[in-house]
Amino acid sequence: MQPWAVFCIIIIIATCGSGENSCYEGDLRVDPGNGPILQFCSGGIWGYMCASNNIKQNKINADVACQQLGKKLSKGDITNVTSNTRLSPIYYYNFFACTGYETKLKECRTPVIYNTFNGRCRNDLYAAAVCEPA
């Protein structure tokens, strides 16, 4: 291998996965432009979680989300927030059944993630959480 090729490989490795838009599976953040709407990482891409009537949205789930975000307990349940703009990609999620012992939403029982890049949240309702500052 040529010395310049090794140098190029090192530069590529050093720059990949850096920056605020990179993420790891199951990461969670508050959308920088649409807080308190939550973003969930799936497949290395930040996306949005829809909220719907069949999702168990309780204080425990919200507390786990806030803990994952490095905050204190939530001020209430995971809630629905309407956005005036269409946000994508969308990750529909069904029934996060957290017990309160988890540190991340992806650790909660039966997290089912549906990745639909062409989807849209019903009534434009997105999952959001309001957390106490750390």
- Domain of 95: which CATH number? 3.10.250.10
Question: pLDDT, tens digit, for every residue of 66-122?
Answer: 999 999 887 776 666 766 666 777 776 655 678 889 999 888 876 556 655 556 666
Pairwise CA distance, residues 105 & 121, whole Å:
20
* Owning domain of residue 27: 22-128
Reported pTM: 0.69
pLDDT at 119: 61
pLDDT at 9: 39
Pairwise CA distance, residues 128 & 37, whole Å:
4
How many structural domains does the chain have? 1
Peptide bond before 32: cis, by omega within 30 degrees of 0? no
Whether the CB-CB separation of 123 and 82 falls below 8 Å is answered with yes
Average pLDDT of the chain is: 71
Pairwise CA distance, residues 40 & 22, whole Å:
12
The verdict on residue 118 lying in a domain is yes
- Reading the block at residue 41, the tokens are 């990482």
C-beta atoms surrounding 94 within 10 Å: 14
